[in-house]
A and B are shown apart, each in its own frame.
Chain A
């Protein structure tokens, strides 16, 4: 019976354990996570949890489930190194032997080298979210560093709770790496209407005792500063074991590293995108769980074709539900066939992504269509029908 050790008990690590059991894997499954408590979902941390503080609703599965599935869950235990020759993972409480190792170590908040950055708060873990939520208990002035999804979700929540919010983004537009300029513009308008003080193209120069200072010299007075300027994949464990990593642990179409006994998934993995052929790293529930299912299928003899799931993503900001089907490269052309709908096309005029606001029907149709094969502009138009 083969033993599978999974390092990282987040969204993807837990899903790998569940899928192994669902596919009939009978050997030991050891799930190692350095955070305390049960594996939990992160998306609500910047959304519902900020309002209701309901921690029970965050757990992905109850303890009874893990026990029933014979998932050997080790919370609060960190993998310190990998001995590939001996096929062992080193921990503070001894070595764990494996036949197959799955790296699901996720990512951590990026801390840019700014003076005073240690004063800023993070929003990545439940512990971070608890701290931030405590601060929301009384009226405050928040300064937010970064204009990505998490920064904007928090800004919307904080405004709804009646706090003052100033958000500084270094780039010229919001969510610049992930969505079209059209979407960035619509979201900027919406956030301004919510009362968020947006400062675009003005990088933060320093975090101070009384807020932050921007490169333009503009001073933002704030009681608390949230740092949400992106993440770094946790690749050090893999790198130290001699595996290739550059913005993510490198895996092939089977999500295998160059060591056939080690796979990687989710936020920490850089994998070949089946459509563009480029190596990408995605930070989404979809990627973490679809990767996990793929790896589990392979390990249980399913012989799956190379990974090619259509990426999808969502973000909740105030009353707007942004949904993205597919994956656009930054240079992909944008077309706006209707308000709050943007199509992205590559240089061969193939549809690469569909961005919608409160347009679940189009989003779901797009996911289905893209899964079936390449879509041209004429076919894309049918999405609006």
Chain B
């Protein structure tokens, strides 16, 4: 989420600054990467309930994905809206 904001990815809002309180950092992790980004938190599931766009198996809150060297090249897709 922070990396997206710093690099002007308009599709990520990140209103709550990564506190898992807003669900405006919703993204879809590309299938090829889901193994490496790992599963969702339980509370992430709850927050996604209120995401503005469709929630799929690939949905994540991007503030809960920690970018490690292992995720270099990560591909995510952005939802149409975050509100």
Residues of A with Cβ closer than 8 Å to B? 22, 41, 43-44, 47, 57, 60-62, 64-65, 68-69, 285-286, 289, 314, 316, 321, 323, 358-361, 363-365, 367-368
Contact = CB atoms under 8 A, between A and B. Distances in A.
B5 A314 contact: no
B10 A314 contact: no
A155 to B, nearest CB: 19
Contact residue range for chain B?
20 to 34
Most A CB within 10 A of own CB, among B8, B19, B21? B21
Contact of B8 (A65, A323, A359): A65
Interface stretch (B31-39, B43-51, B67-75): B43-51
8 contacts: A44-B19, A61-B5, A286-B15, A360-B20, A360-B46, A360-B49, A363-B50, A364-B46
Contact of A285 (B6, B15, B23, B47): B15
Contacts of B2: 57
A364 B16 CA distance: 14
Given A43-B16, A44-B17, A314-B16, A365 B6 contact: no
B6 A364 contact: no
A304 B28 CA distance: 30
Interface of B: 2, 5-8, 10, 15-17, 19-21, 23, 43, 45-51
Contacts of A359: 46
**Majority-rule SS of A interface residues:** helix
B15 to A, nearest CB: 6
B17 A41 contact: yes
Contacts of A57: 2
Nearest to B14: A60
Nearest to B45: A361
Given A314-B16, A364-B49, A365-B49, 7 more contacts: A57-B2, A285-B15, A285-B17, A314-B21, A364-B50, A364-B51, A365-B50
Contacts of A64: 6
B8 A360 contact: no
B20 to A, nearest CB: 8
A242 B42 CA distance: 52
A69 B8 contact: yes
Contacts of B6: 61-62, 64-65
A295 to B, nearest CB: 16
A43 B21 CA distance: 12
Contacts of A367: 50
Contacts of A363: 50
B8 A361 contact: no
Nearest to A58: B17
Most chain A Cβ neighbours within 10 Å, of B5, B19, B23 = B19
A217 to B, nearest CB: 40
A285 B2 CA distance: 17
A316 B19 contact: yes
Nearest to A47: B19
Given A65-B8, A69-B8, A368 B50 contact: yes
Contacts of B45: 361
- Kindly list the 7 A-B residue pairs having the minimum CB-CB distance in the complex, ordered from nearest: A364-B50, A360-B46, A361-B46, A314-B21, A41-B17, A364-B49, A360-B47
- Quick one: which of A41, A68, A285, A364 has the most chain B CB within 10 A? A364
B30 to A, nearest CB: 25
Given A61-B6, A368-B50, A360 B15 contact: no
B43 A360 contact: yes
A314 B43 contact: no
B28 to A, nearest CB: 18
A289 B15 CA distance: 8
Nearest to A316: B19
